[in-house]
Structure 1
Amino acid sequence: MEELTGTILRGESYEPVRGRLVVEDGRIEAVEETATESTDIVLPAFVNAHTHVGDSVAKEAAVGLSLDEAVAPPESVKHRRLAAADRSDLVAAMRRTLRLMRRTGTVTCLDFRENGTDGASALREAAAPLAVDPFIFGSDDPSVLDVADGYGASGANDAEFADQRAACERRGVPFAIHAGEPDATDIHPALDLDPDLLVHMVHAEAEHLERVAAGSVPIAVCPRANAVLGVGDPPIRELLDHTTVALGTDNVMLNGPSMFREMADAANRFDVTAREVLRMATAAGAEIAGLDCGVIAPGRRAALVVLDGDSDNLADSVDPVRAVVRRATALDIKRVVV
């Protein structure tokens, strides 16, 4: 049994509770209000809802390029670099990124992994020795589902994905697809595939949001990456008003996979509350992937981040939730409990 004390951000409302959290056999046994002198802040570990960890072999390679030049298959900088990468170098680079995620409080990422079965297997290999377990959305042929956890489509304007969608349905695994990143033309075709997750939705309009709400389709947004590529800002307030919205960092070659940076950017630039942003960075991604984390409550998996509330950065903060979302950095982490 292990006991954590301090200010605990409890439940789906992230209510700050002064007290203790008891962990036994990897699960949260109890959250109790009690007197404590600890200044620690305990929050759920992060779930990064959209990544491309394979891009770890090409950091900064696409900054300053257009969306098509940077990432569009098959001739973009991204795909040329991936094709040229030696497998051992690719695995090593992805392992470094996953290790960084772990150190900065992320316990899993919902990763779109290129290069079919070989690509998904390489990511499994990269993650094997680490305490980070990526949820892999595979690519190419439906046979990738023998290795991956679901299928991740590049976009409805890029190719036909009916076979892959049907394969996901047969196996009972999620089908995800990029939509509405460069413009709105691929959103309705993406929705026609009955996806389990939409990514980006920068150019979502009222008619799209009505369909999203009717189908309860969750959305992963990546505002920092959208800004780097110059495609616009997702309408996060409107998306939240219609469905579950999760936060991701997108391509590693464009941004580091820091959920602290992503939360601060979202909180400072969009019409959202700190609690909404924290939920986007934790519980929302966990729900999308069917993971038992993202919320501090008895019976849930103990995937937690412990911050030093008395650090030079966080000391004297009057609102712990806002402090976590807007101010905290990796330097404030005392430990990650998984």
Structure 2
Amino acid sequence: MEELTGTVLAGESFRPVRGRVVVEDGRIEAVEETDTESTDIVLPAFVNAHTHLGDSVAKEAAVGLTLEEAVAPPESLKHRRLAAADRADLVSAMRRTLRFMHRTGTVSCLDFRENGVAGARALREAAAPVDVDPFIFGSDDPEVLDVADGYGASGANDDEFADERAACEDRGVPFAIHAGEPDATDIHPALDLGPDLLVHMVHAGREHLERVADESVPVAVCPRANEVLGVGTPPVRELLDHATVALGTDNVMLNPPSMFREMAYTAKRFDVTASEVLRMATAAGAEVAGLDCGVVEPGRRAALLVLDGDSDNLAGSEDPVRAVVRRATALDVERVVV
């Protein structure tokens, strides 16, 4: 049995509780109010709701390029670099990114892995020695579902994807698809596929928002990547009013997969509360992938992040949730408990 003490951000609301979290056999046994001198902040570890870890072989290579030049299949810089990458170098690069993610508080990510079965297997190998468990959305062929956890489609304007959607339905695994990133033309076609997750939705209008709400489709947003690629700004407030919204960092080639940076940007750029942003970075992504984490409450898997609330950066913060979302950095991390 292990006890983590300090200010615990407990439950779905992240209510600050001065006390302790009791962990036994990898699960949270209790969250209790008690006297403590600890200045630590205990919160759920992050779930990054959208990554492209293969991009680790081309960090910063696409800066200044358009969306089509940088990442559009099949001839973009990204896909050329992936095709040319040595497998051992690819596995090593993804593993280093996963180690960075762990050190910055992330325990899982929803990764769109290119290159079919071989790509999914490479990511499994990369993750094997690291305490980050990627939820792999595979690509190219329905047979990738023998290795991956679901299927990740590039966009409804790129291909039909009906066979891939049907394969996911048969196996009871999620189907995710990019939508509304360059423009709105692929949003309704994406929704026609009955997805379990939409990614980006930068150009979502009222008719799309209403349909997302009616069909209860969750959305992953990646505001920093949208900014770098110049595609626009996702309507985060409106999306939150209509759907479950999770937060992702998108292409490793464009931005480091730091949920601290993504949360701070989102909190300061959009009309959202700190609690909403923290939920986007934890419970929402876990919910999308069916992961048993993202909330500090009894019975949950103990996937926890411990910050030094008395660090030079966080000391004196009046609101621990705001401090975590708007101010905290990797330097404030004391432990990641998995």
TM-score normalised by L of structure 1: 1.00
SS in 2 for 1:131: coil
Offset at residue 56 of structure 1 (A): 0.1
Counterpart in the other structure of 1:105: 105
User: In structure 2, how many angstroms separate the alpha carbons of the residues matched to 1:67 and 1:285?
Assistant: 24
User: In structure 1, how many angstroms separate the alpha carbons of the residues matched to 2:130 and 2:150?
Assistant: 21
Over the matched positions of the two proteins, sequence identity in percent amounts to 86
Counterpart in the other structure of 1:89: 89
Offset from partner CA, 1:43-98 (integer Å, 9 cap, x none): 00000000000000000010110000000001000000000000000000000000
For residues 153-302 of structure 1, what are the structure 2 equivalents within 5 Å?
153-302=153-302
Aligned structure 1 segments of 4 or more residues deviating by more than 3 angstroms: none
The code of the aligned residue for 1:227 comes to E
Counterpart in the other structure of 1:118: 118
Q: Does 1:67 align with 2:73?
A: no
User: In structure 1, how many angstroms separate the alpha carbons of the residues matched to 2:322 and 2:183?
Assistant: 33
Counterpart in the other structure of 1:142: 142
Offset at residue 160 of structure 1 (A): 1.1
User: In structure 1, how many angstroms separate the alpha carbons of the residues matched to 2:71 and 2:160?
Assistant: 19
User: In structure 1, how many angstroms separate the alpha carbons of the residues matched to 2:68 and 2:289?
Assistant: 28
User: In structure 2, how many angstroms separate the alpha carbons of the residues matched to 1:225 and 1:104?
Assistant: 18
The code of the aligned residue for 2:223 comes to P
User: In structure 1, how many angstroms separate the alpha carbons of the residues matched to 2:336 and 2:240?
Assistant: 29
User: In structure 2, how many angstroms separate the alpha carbons of the residues matched to 1:98 and 1:153?
Assistant: 22
Offset at residue 236 of structure 1 (A): 0.3
Counterpart in the other structure of 1:131: 131
For residues 293-312 of structure 1, what are the structure 2 equivalents within 5 Å?
293-312=293-312
Counterpart in the other structure of 1:37: 37
Offset from partner CA, 1:6-52 (integer Å, 9 cap, x none): 00000000000000110000000000001110000000000000000
User: In structure 1, how many angstroms separate the alpha carbons of the residues matched to 2:91 and 2:297?
Assistant: 35
User: In structure 1, how many angstroms separate the alpha carbons of the residues matched to 2:94 and 2:149?
Assistant: 18
User: In structure 2, how many angstroms separate the alpha carbons of the residues matched to 1:280 and 1:63?
Assistant: 26
TM-score normalised by L of structure 2: 1.00
User: In structure 2, how many angstroms separate the alpha carbons of the residues matched to 1:21 and 1:195?
Assistant: 36
User: In structure 2, how many angstroms separate the alpha carbons of the residues matched to 1:94 and 1:34?
Assistant: 41
SS in 2 for 1:134: strand
Give the gaps of 5 or more residues in structure 2. Answer: none
Give the gaps of 5 or more residues in structure 1. Answer: none
User: In structure 2, how many angstroms separate the alpha carbons of the residues matched to 1:208 and 1:317?
Assistant: 39
User: In structure 2, how many angstroms separate the alpha carbons of the residues matched to 1:195 and 1:95?
Assistant: 29
Counterpart in the other structure of 1:55: 55
User: In structure 1, how many angstroms separate the alpha carbons of the residues matched to 2:47 and 2:39?
Assistant: 24
Offset at residue 231 of structure 1 (A): 0.3
User: In structure 2, how many angstroms separate the alpha carbons of the residues matched to 1:64 and 1:146?
Assistant: 37
User: In structure 1, how many angstroms separate the alpha carbons of the residues matched to 2:264 and 2:132?
Assistant: 23
Offset from partner CA, 1:151-203 (integer Å, 9 cap, x none): 00000001110000000000000000000000000000000000000000000
User: In structure 2, how many angstroms separate the alpha carbons of the residues matched to 1:220 and 1:98?
Assistant: 20
The code of the aligned residue for 2:260 comes to F
SS in 1 for 2:133: coil
Offset from partner CA, 1:231-280 (integer Å, 9 cap, x none): 00100000000000000000000000000000000000000000000000
